């Protein structure tokens, strides 16, 4: 089976590194080729890494509440960079404070994310989804 390549990182001015390391480990264990751009990463870094590695998906993390601002326009920039139809996933504590999850999910889907994960989602669930999305086992 050909390995799927996934770019992961923590977007914006956010230096939360723990979850990022766990996602890196878990995706690698599950047989993905992981390109980890780490914390404090602007949108451009996600896109450059995806272009350079011909990635199949981008998985964005945000823990500090500014995810909504940081993620705006990512889909459009992907399109411009020629990353047409690349799968975009996002998760963490992506908005400030407690908000209605259905609305948050819709907001991020409208932004062009394929899947949006609520706070505290187990990475195993995301991995199952990614496998489903790429018709792996």
Partner 1 sequence: MNIKNKKWTEEEFFKMREEVLSQWPTGKEVDLKEAVDYLKKVPEHKNFSLKLKKAKEEGVTLAQPRAGVALISEHIELLTHLQNEGGADLLPSTIDSYTRQNRYDECEIGIQESRKAGRSLLNGFPGVNHGVHGCKKVYEAVNLPLEARHGTPDARLLTEIIHAGGWTSNEGGGISYNIPYAKNVPLDRTIRDWQYCDRLVGFYAEQGIIINREPFGPLTGTLVPPSTSNTVAIIEGLLAAEQGVKNITVGYGQCGNIVQDVAAIRALESQMEEYLREYGYHDVYVTTVFHQWMGGFPQDEAKAFGVISTGSATAALAGATKVIVKTPHEAIGVPTKEANAQGIRATKMTLNLLKGQRLPMSKELQDEIALIKAETKCMMNKTFELGNGDLAIGAVKAFEAGVVDIPFAPSKYNAGKMMPARDNNGAVRYLNFGNLPFTEDIREINRRKLEERAKFEGRPVGFKMTVDDIFAVSRGVLVGRPQK
Residue 128 engages partner 1 in binding (rule: CB under 8 A): no
Q: Is 16 a catalytic residue?
A: yes
Residues with Cβ within 8 Å of residue 19, at least 6 apart in sequence? 10, 61, 63, 92
Nearest distance in Å: CB 77, partner 1 = 21
Q: According to the binding rule CB under 8 A, does residue 111 interact with partner 1?
A: no
**Cα separation, 81 vs 102, whole angstroms:** 30
14 counts as catalytic = yes
Q: Which of residues 64-93 bind partner 1 (CB under 8 A)?
A: 65
**Residue 34 to residue 26: CA distance in whole angstroms:** 10
Does 17 help bind partner 1 (rule: CB under 8 A)?
yes
Helical segments of 60-119, H only: 67-71, 74-80, 101-110
**According to the binding rule CB under 8 A, does residue 15 interact with partner 1?**
yes
Q: Which strands sit side by side in the sheet containing 115-117, from one edge to the other?
A: 33-36, 5-10, 57-62, 87-92, 115-117
Nearer to partner 1, 18 or 54 (CB): 18
Which residues carry out catalysis? 14, 16
Which residues bind to partner 1, rule: CB under 8 A?
A: 13, 15, 17-18, 21-22, 25-26, 29, 38-40, 65, 97
């Amino acid at each position: 089976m050909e390995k799927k390549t996934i770019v992961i990182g923590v977007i914006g001015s956010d230096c939360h590194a723990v979850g990022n390391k766990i996602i890196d480990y878990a995706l690698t264990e599950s047989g993905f080729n992981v390109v980890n751009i780490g914390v404090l990463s602007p949108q451009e870094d996600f896109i450059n890494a995806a272009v350079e590695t011909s990635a199949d998906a981008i998985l964005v993390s945000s823990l500090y509440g500014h995810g909504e601002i940081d993620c705006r326009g990512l889909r459009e920039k992907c399109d411009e960079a020629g990353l047409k139809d690349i799968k975009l996933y996002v998760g963490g504590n992506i908005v400030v404070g407690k908000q209605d999850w259905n609305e948050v999910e819709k907001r991020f889907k409208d932004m062009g994310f394929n899947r949006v994960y609520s706070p505290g989602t187990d990475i195993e669930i995301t991995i199952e989804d990614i496998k489903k999305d790429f018709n792996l086992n």
